[in-house]
Each structure stands twice: as C-alpha cells, then as structure tokens.
Amino acid sequence: MVAVIDFGSQYTQLIARRVRECGVYSEIFSCFTDAHDIYNNVNPEALILSGGPGSVYKARAQSFKHFFNLDVPILGICYGMQLAAELLGGKVNYSKKREYGHTSIRVKTHPIFSGLPRRFNVWMSHGDVVVEVPSGGRVIASTETAPIAAFQLGNFYGLQFHPEVQHTQYGRTILNNFLTQICKAKKTWSMSRFVDDEIERIRKIVGGAKALCAISGGVDSTVVAALATKAIGKNCICIFVDNGLLRINEKEDVRKSLSPYMNLKIVDAQKKFLSQLRNVKNPERKRKIIGREFIKVFETEARKIRNVAFLVQGTLYPDVIESGKGVGPSAIIKSHHNVGGLPVRMRLKIIEPLRLLFKDEVRKIARVLRLPASSIERKPFPGPGLAVRIVGPVTEERLNMLRAADKIVLEEARKLKRYRNIWQIFAILLPLGSVGVMGDKRTYDWVCALRAVQSDDGMTADWVRLPQEFLAKVSQRITNEVKGINRVVYDITSKPPSTIEWE
C-alpha cells in the first residue's frame, strides 16, 4: 500500500484514487500524523506527499522532517516537492509568482518519465518555486517559469506539477512509473474487492439494527442503497425526500426505476424546505438550511421506525474535501449537502461507504453490482437541487421557470452524440433583469445561463465546446417557451477558477 500524506491539497484524494486505479491500495494520512506511526501501522511501500497551501507551512516545515526519515521511496507533489527542497538543503522562493493552468514541460531521461515524449503539457497550480535543489539532487524536468519542475535526490522524487489531475498529459503514466518502476509495488487492489469489503463492513457496523438510506435517484445513493441492502437486506430502509427543489418528473422517475430494487419510501417535504429558504440569498446559508432540514426529515422518519440506529449516505470525496472535512487542513470551498449541514447532536450514526471515492469510481462499482444502466449513467445532481442553480432567493415561481428551462436543455442535450461524455449540462436562473423585445413589445425579464462541463471527477472541469446549432436551438426554445426568460447566456469558465454549480 501507498500512504498519501495530506498537506491540504484540493487534489489529495485524487492522488489516492489514481494510485488505486493503478491497482495499488492507498490511504490518506494527515500531515500531522507521525511518520513512524504510519510505518508501524500500515507498513507502506511508498509515501506520496501532496500539494498544499504552500508557504502556509513555511514556518512549520521542520516539523515535517520525520517523513524523510522512512526508508521508502517518496514522491513529493507541488508543496511536497518544495518541502523536500526546503528540508534537504535546497532553496524555495516564496515570491508568489503564481502559475496556474497548462504549462509545457521538458523532461530528461528518467524512470519516472519512462515511455513519455520529451515535451508535453502539465497542470501547474502554485505560488512558490524551488530555485535550488539540495546538494546531490538532479533536476529532471523544467518549464519556462520553473527551471526546476522536477528533481530526484536519492529515494525522493519531486514534481512541481500535478500528475494526478486529468489535465496533465501522461499523469497516470508518471504515477504508474513511480509505483511500478521505482517502488516495485504489487497490483492487488480492485473494485470488486472494495464491494466485498464494504458489504462486510456495513454488516458488521449495523449488526441487528436498522439503517436508513438517503436516496436521491443518482448513482451515488443508488449504489450505497444497493451495498447496504446486500449487507442487511430489508433492514435497510431507503428514503427519498421530495424537497421541492427537484427537476420535472423526478419523483415519479425515481419511484418507477428504484422501487423494484429496494425498500423505498417517499417523503413529501416540499413546504418545509421552501418556507425555510424564503428570502435566503446567501449560497452558504442555503446549503446549510437544506442540509439541516434534510437531516430533520430523516430524524422524523427514523422515529417512526423502531430500532433505527444508522443513516447510510452517498457522500463522495469531492463533497467531503470541498466542505473542508478531508483528512488534512484544506480550505473550505462550499458546504456540501449532508456534510456541512449536519447538526452535532444528530441521533443517527452516519455510514458513508463512498466517502473516499469519486463519481466515476462509483459508476464502476455500480457496474460490479449490476445496477440498471439508467442509474449508472445519470448525470450528477447536487443535493441542494435547483436551489443552488437559482442565484438569489428561491421562490416557487423561479423554480418553475428553471424547471421549464432545464427540461428543454436536457431534451436537446440528449440528442447530442457527445451527451454521454458530458459530465453535466444544466440551466441556471440569474437574479438579473434584462431588456428584450418580443412581438414588437418591450420585455424586462430574467436571464438564464447554460452550463455544460466535461470532467472526470468533478474536481476539475472544462466547459464543453457545444455546437453553435445546439446553443441556438436551446436559446430559441427557452426564450420562446419559458415565460419570464428573455435572454440566454453560455458559461465559458473552467473549474478552477469557477466551480461547476454557481452556488
């Protein structure tokens, strides 16, 4: 196994997951864990030091020295490389010359770059740079702004760029080279092993008690419900909450497709959610309110069933990490549904079998479990639903407007050849009036934005270059068919710097 040491990077889990994709089991440890405890407890074949909000730790660097005392290969990524430079006698410039995004890199002949061309594109995201390698170190790659973009010193290998993100060309090969050529790690990890282990784990944790499972209709909660149902059978009671923030026909679709597979109960709670959200503009408050209300509904349901002690949720790693609840000290981006809103006094214990996984890993598990294709291929939909796609206060009227626009976007999108490869495509309603003209009359109506992104895991994303005819059709249909919208714009930002959802 490989121990990934989390210094607070947004990408830590991505590193762990890429390692798993190479067939090697990996686990994440906080940078505040003692290296010798890790060594004694899990005996890793290698360490990977993640990136992190770099110079935040400048003063602390010395306290991380113990990681370099272990006799295993170490891969340092971004901050992980700078840390090694700082601790092993090199020099880091904390000048904050920021470098984000694609950069062309030139690499030397080295086992970690085995099989790669001399020049390719990598993804950089850093302020600080290594300006001097420790004595005895060898520079093995450079870019225009970072002459030391990678170095090796003995058993340490440092990369200034992020091999774990999909935007780095050959990133996976680089990690695979590190694991196979340098660490000689054994490839024994697989999804079916994960499934067996999780079923066993849930069975042990729940014992003879009952568990509730939160169903959203998406692949995450369906997989979680299937795992829990396999573990404890009818004692897993699956609940779908209609929070009033769903898309058109969503409740009925869920009822039809999932009730044959599980013990499904549908709870109508629209009024509660909408009254709590009245006049709320702040995105974080919206998310917190929805998270809190959701848990309340569950508690109420739990009280109706005897002997319920657990809540099984389909929380994924991006939800956890962006809520600042990962292992190490990363920054909070958004309070994701069911994580940020959890009241401390909650009476149900939470089981989150997918907490360490990404969406596409979950889809692979769904295939292992032989779940219906409609569930596996369903696009992600945020827990707080349309509330985070209505910028500004959520009202019944605005919900209906957005539902109608969203329906059109989906109808047209399904006709696209590339629909399967689009991660998400949806409409957002803006709190912005704009002047228009319809049938010789002046209008003053709302603006609707369209967002379509391509992504592997929701952590980074690029906007989709949609065909112009598609954009024209959608714009025309929305302005013609949805009363109250007179302008459609297309969002052309990637993540980062934006997020996928607008709130």
Contact positions toward ligand XMP, by CB under 6 A?
318-319, 322, 334, 336-337, 380, 382-384, 424, 458, 495, 499-501
SS3 annotation, 232-261: HHHHEEEEEEECCCCCCCHHHHHHHHHCCC
In the complex with ligand XMP, the residue whose CB is nearer, 115 or 343, is 343
**Alpha-carbon distance 91 to 135, whole Å?**
11
Known catalytic residue at 164: yes
In whole angstroms, how large is the CA radius of gyration of the chain?
24
Kindly give, in sequence order, each residue whose CB lies less than 8 Å from that of residue 59, ignoring residues fewer than 6 positions away.
none
Q: How far is the CB of 320 from ligand XMP (least distance, A)?
A: 10
In the complex with ligand XMP, the residue whose CB is nearer, 235 or 424, is 424
Q: How far is the CB of 196 from ligand XMP (least distance, A)?
A: 25
**Alpha-carbon distance 414 to 425, whole Å?**
10
Task: Name the DSSP class of 182.
Answer: I
Select which of 45, 86, 164, 301 is catalytic: 164
Q: Where are the alpha helices (DSSP H) in 283-391?
A: 283-304, 317-322, 359-368, 373-376
**Which candidate, 208, 225, 270, 281, places its Cα nearest to that of 245?**
270
In the complex with ligand XMP, the residue whose CB is nearer, 460 or 479, is 460
How, if at all, do strands 308-312 and 210-215 pair?
Answer: parallel
In the complex with ligand XMP, the residue whose CB is nearer, 336 or 378, is 336
Q: How far is the CB of 44 from ligand XMP (least distance, A)?
A: 30
CA 285 to chain centre: 21
CA 464 to chain centre: 18
In the bound state, the residue with its beta carbon closest to ligand XMP is 337
In the complex with ligand XMP, the residue whose CB is nearer, 4 or 461, is 461
Task: Name the DSSP class of 69.
Answer: G
In the complex with ligand XMP, the residue whose CB is nearer, 336 or 363, is 336
- Using the CB atoms, write b or e for 200-228: b if 16+ within 10 Å: eebeebbeeebbbbbbbbbbbbbbbbbbb
Phi, psi of 32 (to 5 degrees): -90, 5
Select which of 162, 167, 336, 337 is catalytic: 162
CA 68 vs CA 63, 372, 466: distances in Å:
11, 48, 48
Q: How far is the CB of 334 from ligand XMP (least distance, A)?
A: 5
**Alpha-carbon distance 272 to 290, whole Å?**
10
Select which of 31, 78, 238, 448 is catalytic: 78
Task: Name the DSSP class of 178.
Answer: I
**Which candidate, 43, 15, 45, 18, places its Cα nearest to that of 28?**
15
In the complex with ligand XMP, the residue whose CB is nearer, 27 or 462, is 462
**Mutual angle of helices 270-277 and 283-304, in 10-degree steps:** 150
Q: How far is the CB of 223 from ligand XMP (least distance, A)?
A: 13
Strand partners, 102: 123
In the complex with ligand XMP, the residue whose CB is nearer, 8 or 382, is 382
Known catalytic residue at 78: yes
Q: How far is the CB of 449 from ligand XMP (least distance, A)?
A: 14
Q: How far is the CB of 315 from ligand XMP (least distance, A)?
A: 7
Q: How far is the CB of 486 from ligand XMP (least distance, A)?
A: 27
Known catalytic residue at 337: no
**Alpha-carbon distance 211 to 235, whole Å?**
6
Residue 152 corresponds to which tokens in the numbers above?
Answer: 């090796």
Active centre residues (catalytic): 78, 162, 164
